[in-house]
Structure 1
């Protein structure tokens, strides 16, 4: 099957190629380089939506999603060198409070100690007294320069390291999931391929990668919706960007779903039961008191203050009737009265 590729340069259309060979020839001429050097960045870009940077220019290569998905599957099943890369990276809790940072933010800046690229998956191993893999994150930006980083001293425990950090290059990570299991302890990791101690970033493939992946099942920060969950457990704190946005916290969402499950608490809809595998684990989370009615921060209680609902019921809960929002109980009663 041909792979048509659209080449974008700095968000503007540059060229439409009928296949990857034509795209590589065009890019080689455009950059005055060899064709062989162009295939890998083109493939990684259209498969994983990873930009290719040359000096100050950003190139993106786009193909229909079905073609990209099929190629992605081929790359990962064969451990191709262009497949998404997985890393095992240590974190020292005596230097930086990673748990605290992820309790407030779903994306953080991390020292670029490896050649991380957008789309890479990183398993963070917490050292010292913990000695376990605790977090799975995705690289959302491979290179972040020091002048682009907002330094937050509150999570640093090592004053000297914090001072040094202002000269580092960084990457930006998005939290995907967190676990706490002895199965991901250093002893078990060694049984599956880790050699010695984990003292620096290392790529993981094959048996070790597959073993670690067994214990991560969720994407905590995927598919957020308005008024779901704030970034900090203290809700109601607005921050002005272009418009007012509310901070989000994936941990609160997970605690809510772990308690109630993924069935709508108004109409009882379960997406997996209705749609099959594609609906597995899909649900909105509704904040019982609308966030825009809260002007002062308070400590949100995920089980008392949040509730899983389907998108339709969620939309109805955010519509006013005679100036007031419907409660969960009122909306549920209306549905029951119509059946």
Structure 2
């Protein structure tokens, strides 16, 4: 596990992760597939905010995942597109005072975070405790395989429902209560259910066009797994709407 600095005055990570499921990062160390990197956002933020997984330690192709519009410093962009890259995917995002620079120093961090550093001991365990294992790997209704004549049928997954940044912004707006049946898992199951909820993308996949940018407040909605599954089923060839679901529950 590594602690890696990211300068928000050079590159807009939040917008980039909202747009891409994976990014190509300048390879400053010999990261290996499966390595976990915790990205420390420097500048005026000064806190660890992103947990990412290395999915390709050394990118050999030329299809580098970079979008110049996310670069705030054009000189740094010119430098970044040169050299070796590591491909990373976003696993989880956190915005907590517990992960600020002073708190990290209390847990064993020495000096400033100016380059990638290996995480060990108490500091590693402390940072890990503030992130989920993998929010983006939560099973959603679209992921559940159908068995058809002994073969597995592949079902398309809506990436917007998995994107940790979009999910978190949606939850920050609505809370973790199901917006259909109103269940709150912490109230029902105690500590086990804290912060557990699915996020549903309201617009059907076939209506999503190229270049579409998701708005977490209007396009996503927190729902429980039961309601989520029903929203992904069709009746007479059509998906039920949120209002339609609510009316059925009232009846």
Alignment of 1:158-173 (within 5 A): 158-173=73-88
In the TM superposition, 1:194-213 aligns within 5 A as: 194-213=109-128
Residue aligned with 2:62, SS: helix
Give the match for residue 139 of structure 1. Answer: 54
Contact conserved, 1:90 with 1:198, CA < 8 A, in 2?
A: yes
Q: Which secondary structure state, in structure 2, belongs to the residue aligned with residue 261 of structure 1?
A: coil
Deviation at 1:262, TM superposition (A): 5.6
Q: How does 1:98-177 map to 2 (within 5 A)?
A: 98-145=13-60, 147-177=62-92
Aligned counterpart, 2:204 = 290
Q: Which has the higher contact order (CA 8 A, sep 6+)?
A: 2
Moved more, 96-105 or 259-268: 259-268
How does the TM-score come out when normalised to structure 2?
0.75
What secondary structure does 1:134 align onto? Answer: strand
Secondary structure of 1:139 counterpart: strand
User: Which of these residues, 179, 189, 202, is aligned with residue 94 of structure 2?
Assistant: 179
Looking at structure 2, the residues matched to 328 and 262 of structure 1 have their Cα atoms a distance apart, in angstroms, of: 14
Pairs within 5 Å for 1:41-52:
none
Distance 1:121 1:262, change over 3 A: farther
Counterpart mapping for 1:322-337 below 5 A: 322-335=236-249, 337=251
| SS of structure 2 residue aligned to 1:157 | coil
Structure 1 residue 263 displacement after superposition: 4.5
Query: C-alpha distance in 2, partners of 1:155/1:167?
Result: 17
| Cα deviations by residue, 1:83-139 (Å, 9 ceiling, x for unpaired) | xxx111111223222222122223211111112112221111122322222212121
The higher radius of gyration belongs to: 1
C-alpha distance in structure 2 between counterparts of 1:253 and 1:214, whole Å: 20
* Matching residue of 2:138: 223
Give the distance between the partners of 2:200 and 2:6, measured in 1 at CA: 34
Structure 1 residue 141 displacement after superposition: 1.8
Kept in 1, the 8 Å contact 2:56–2:88? The answer is: yes
1:164 shift after superposition: 2.7
Deviation at 1:200, TM superposition (A): 1.0
Note if 1:316 corresponds to 2:205: no
Q: Is 2:184 the counterpart of 1:265? A: no
The number of equivalent residue pairs is 237
Tell me by how many angstroms 1:327 deviates.
Answer: 2.4
Question: What is the CA distance between 1:304 and its match in structure 2?
Answer: 4.3
1:304/1:149 Cα in 2 relative to 1: closer, same or farther (>3 Å)? closer
Equivalent residue, structure 1, for 2:152: none
TM-score, normalization by structure 1: 0.58
Point out where structure 2 has 5 or more consecutive residues left out of the alignment.
Answer: 144-154
Asked whether the equivalents of residues 117 and 141 of structure 1 are also in contact (C-alpha less than 8 Å), the reply is yes
Any gaps of 5 or more consecutive residues in structure 1?
1-85, 229-242
Residues 182, 223 of structure 1: alpha-carbon distance in 2 compared, 3 angstrom cutoff: closer
Post-superposition shift, 1:197?
1.7
State the secondary structure of the residue aligned to 1:254.
helix
Is the CA contact (8 Å cut-off) linking 1:146 and 1:169 kept in structure 2?
no
**Contact 1:136–1:176, Cα closer than 8 Å, also in 2:** yes
Displacement of 1:288? 3.0
